[in-house]
Amino acid sequence: MRKFAVLLLSFFAILFILSSCGGGTDSSSAEGQAEAPKSMVAEPEAPIEVSADGSTVTVRLTGDDMMKYNLSRIEVKAGQKVKLTLTHIGKMNKDVMGHNFVLLKPGVDVEAFANEALKHKDNAYIPAGMEGDIIAHTGMVGGGESTSVEFDAPAAGTYKYICSFPAHHITMKGELVVN
Ligand SMILES: [Cu+2]
């Protein structure tokens, strides 16, 4: 009789283990289900996206409180329309950590341009009289702000872009490569 009780107990123990395993499976599949809509909502946006017909390139550039862009190289094709949005993903004010995107013409001395730009705070650090050195530029943004610019990709070649906020061009720089 006692043996029977032990048997019965172990039978229930096995049942319990089996059911808890089953529960484990259930919860993991529930997690799997929870992940699916999450990834649909989050839908990671590619920093560079080409339209289906190939005519337009959307560029999602970011700048942070550490004086860094997310992209140091942007590749496009000649003639494509470039829609660039710069988002400041930091928290700092634009007076101390402002960011912009300035695409320079080939042959422009970046150092000389940046040294002139820093004198033009009242013009969002776009140096008056040097517009001829610029292919395209955005406005200046602070933490949490965005700014956009649209331009046609210039002729094939490599072009430099910088943030013209004082001293930012040292780390906030990159190349637009037009194929
Ligand atoms: Cu900057």
What is the domain range of residue 39?
1-44
Is the full-model pTM beyond 0.85? no
Whether 128 and 114 map to the same domain: the answer is yes
3-state secondary structure of 171: coil
87 Cα–ligand 1 center, Å: 11
Of all residues in the chain, the percent with pLDDT exceeding 90 is 75
Whether 166 and 98 map to the same domain: the answer is yes
| pLDDT digits 0-9 by tens, 70-91 | 999 999 999 999 999 999 999 9
Tell me what pLDDT residue 42 has.
63
Task: Give the integer Cα–Cα distance in Å for 40 and 169.
Answer: 37
Q: Enter the tokens of residue 101.
A: 């995107």
Q: Where are the beta strands (DSSP E) in 93-141?
A: 102-104, 134-137
Whether 3 and 71 map to the same domain: the answer is no
Which of 153, 143, 133, 159 shows the shortest CA–CA distance to 66?
A: 143
**Using the 8-state DSSP alphabet, how is residue 99 labeled?**
B
Whether 78 and 123 map to the same domain: the answer is yes
Whether 95 and 39 map to the same domain: the answer is no
Residue list, CB under 5 A from ion ligand 1: 99, 163, 165, 168, 172
Q: Is the predicted pLDDT of residue 9 greater than 90, yes or no? A: no
- CATH value at residue 128: 2.60.40.420
Count of domains forming the chain:
2
Work out the average pLDDT over 122-140: 96
What is the pLDDT confidence band of residue 5, given thresholds at 50, 70 and 90? very low
Whether 39 and 12 map to the same domain: the answer is yes
159 Cα–ligand 1 center, Å: 18
Whether 137 and 53 map to the same domain: the answer is yes
Residues 6+ apart with CB under 8 A from 21: none
Whether 22 and 59 map to the same domain: the answer is no
Whether 155 and 171 map to the same domain: the answer is yes
136 Cα–ligand 1 center, Å: 16
108 Cα–ligand 1 center, Å: 19
Whether 122 and 89 map to the same domain: the answer is yes
| pLDDT digits 0-9 by tens, 15-58 | 343 344 444 344 444 444 445 455 556 667 899 999 999 999 99
Whether 54 and 117 map to the same domain: the answer is yes
Whether 92 and 30 map to the same domain: the answer is no
